[in-house]
A = this chain, B = another copy of it.
Amino acid sequence: MSGSILGNLFTIATWGESHGKGIGVVVDGCPAGLNLCEEDIQLFLNRRKPGQSKFSTPRKEEDSVEILSGVFDGKTTGTPISLIIYNQTQRSGDYSEIANYYRPGHADLTYDVKYGFRDYRGGGRSSGRETIGRVAAGAIASKILNTLGIDIFAYTKSIGPFEIHTFDRNEIMNNSLYMPDANTALDASSYLEECIKNHNSAGGKIECIISNLPAGVGEPAFEKLNANLAKAVTSIGAVKAFEIGDGIEVATATGLSNNDAYQYDENSNIIKLSNHSGGILGGISDGTDILLRASIKPTPSIAASQKTINKSGENININIKGRHDPIIVPRAVVVVESMVAVTVLDMLFMSMTSNMDSIKRFWEKR
Contacts and interface: CB of A to CB of B under 8 A. Distances in A.
Contact of A241 (B200, B227, B231, B244): B244
A255 interface: yes
Nearest to A80: B15
6 nearest A-B residue pairs (beta carbon)? A107-B282, A3-B219, A201-B255, A32-B115, A3-B223, A231-B231
A202 B252 CA distance: 7
Given A15-B82, A106-B281, A117-B33, A250 B3 contact: no
Main secondary structure of the interface of A (DSSP, over half): mixed
Contacts of A307: 261-263, 273
Contacts of A8: 1-2, 8
Contact of A3 (B23, B114, B220, B277): B220
B117 A32 contact: yes
Nearest to A243: B241
Count of identical protomers in the assembly: 4
A355 B115 contact: yes
Contacts of A222: 3-6, 231-232, 235
B200 A254 contact: yes
A102 B16 contact: no
Nearest to A6: B222
A78 B114 contact: yes
B11 A5 contact: yes
A260 B106 CA distance: 9
Interface stretch (A38-46, A51-59, A284-292): A284-292
B1 A26 contact: no
A97 interface: no
Interface in A268-314: 268, 270, 273, 277-278, 280-287, 295-302, 304, 306-309, 313-314
Interface stretch (A119-127, A169-177, A179-187, A330-338): A119-127
Contacts of A2: 7-11, 28-29, 219, 223
Nearest to A284: B110
24 contacts: A1-B9, A16-B69, A17-B77, A77-B124, A78-B220, A105-B258, A107-B281, A109-B281, A110-B216, A114-B284, A114-B351, A148-B360, A158-B251, A201-B254, A203-B250, A221-B235, A226-B235, A227-B231, A230-B233, A241-B244, A241-B251, A247-B295, A259-B302, A352-B362
